[in-house]
């Protein structure tokens, strides 16, 4: 009998590995991989990745007028070095994140994204294999719209916790979105002081609602559930376009023989009664409707702060090496 991971793939879900630790990726044969500053920080502390750090530091020393610019250059190159190694393992795409401190800066997000694409190109990797990860702020969504329509750069809108963010992302023509599951569960468990089964998990419900909205209204944007706390959250979303899963949960699925029936079925969405909304040309309405969801506001703020803090920690490690 096929294991749960193989069954998940057979429901039509594309399995993606959520890790910067590419030594662990190959076993699970994912199509794509996603990274973020926190994952790169964790991986970069391991001795087996020192050679990537060395390449990035050498590059950084040659690029920048002052130490700040040199450290920024080093970080960008490090992200791209990790992406390059991952792309030797996965057949599809890798997601590389724009620095979270640009989450509220439309132009800086575009500039950084295009710089990352240029860095990949300089080492022989075409933009077709890259997804640029941007936070699902108003500015991030509008930056993705420009990157997709004017530059042909595919974007992954991340830190997504609500339907308004998802609707605006689809209208922006984003290639893919990453609605978070586990972080929504975390908020509800803390707020409601109760546990949730996978069937009633509010993070699972959020992704189901986004999936159904997209399928009902014919959006092509890929829905990739992310940030899982347990195996049940994953199997409840069997049939979702993509799911990005950490190595420890991939291992659980790999070692499990439990049945994984398809739960999300695109054709079922057409009969659902879901009102259509539009945000992409109405910033005020987007901000108001998003603001109505306390969990989403809080989790977006927290996620941006944590990614930015981890990028600063990583820069601190790189600074010592650039100066050394």
Active site (catalytic) residues = 133
Per the listing, tokens 């300089």 go with 122
CB 97 within 8 A of CB 79: yes
Instruction: Give the containing element (helix H, strand E) for 16.
Output: strand 14-18
**Minimal CA–CA distance to 209: which of 149, 285, 293?**
293
* Residue 136: other Cβ atoms inside 10 A: 32
Report d(CA 195, CA 193) in Å as an integer. Answer: 7
The Cα–Cα gap between 322 and 60 comes to: 7
Could you please report the per-residue DSSP string of 51-118? HHHHHHHHHHHHS-SSHHHHHHHHHHHHHHHHHHHHHTT-SS-EEEEPPGGGTT-HHHHHHHHHHHHH
- Cβ atoms of residues 2 and 29 within 8 Å: no
Phi and psi torsions of 243, nearest 5°: -135, 130
CA–CA dist 248, 271 (Å, integer)? 37
């Amino acid at each position: 009998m096929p294991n749960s991971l193989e069954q998940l793939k057979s429901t039509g879900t594309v399995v993606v590995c959520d890790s910067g630790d590419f030594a662990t990726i190959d076993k699970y044969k994912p199509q794509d991989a996603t990274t973020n500053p926190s994952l790169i920080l964790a991986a970069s502390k391991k001795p087996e990745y020192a050679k990537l750090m060395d390449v990035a530091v050498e590059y950084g020393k040659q690029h920048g007028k002052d130490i700040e610019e040199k450290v920024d250059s080093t970080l960008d190159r490090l992200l791209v070095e990790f992406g390059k190694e991952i792309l030797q393992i996965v057949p599809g795409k890798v997601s590389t994140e724009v620095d979270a401190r640009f989450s509220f800066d439309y132009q800086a997000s575009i500039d950084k994204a295009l710089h990352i694409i240029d860095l990949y190109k300089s080492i022989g990797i075409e933009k077709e294999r890259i997804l640029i990860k941007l936070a699902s702020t108003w500015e991030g969504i509008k930056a993705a719209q420009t990157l997709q329509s004017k530059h042909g750069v595919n974007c992954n809108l991340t830190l997504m916790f609500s339907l308004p963010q998802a609707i605006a992302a689809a209208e922006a023509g984003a290639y893919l979105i990453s609605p978070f599951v586990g972080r929504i569960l975390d908020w509800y468990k803390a707020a409601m002081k109760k546990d949730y089964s996978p069937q009633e998990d509010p993070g699972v419900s959020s992704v189901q609602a986004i999936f159904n909205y997209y399928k009902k209204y014919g959006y092509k944007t890929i829905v990739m559930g992310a940030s899982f706390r347990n195996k049940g959250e994953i199997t409840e979303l069997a049939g979702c376009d993509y799911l990005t899963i950490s190595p420890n949960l991939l291992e659980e699925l790999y070692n499990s023989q439990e049945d994984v029936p398809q739960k999300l079925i695109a054709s079922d969405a057409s009969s659902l009664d879901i009102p259509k909304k539009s945000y992409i040309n109405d910033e005020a309405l987007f901000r108001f409707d998003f603001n109505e969801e306390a969990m989403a506001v809080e989790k977006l703020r927290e996620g941006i702060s944590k990614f930015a803090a981890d990028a600063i920690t990583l820069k601190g490690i790189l600074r010592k090496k650039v100066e050394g």
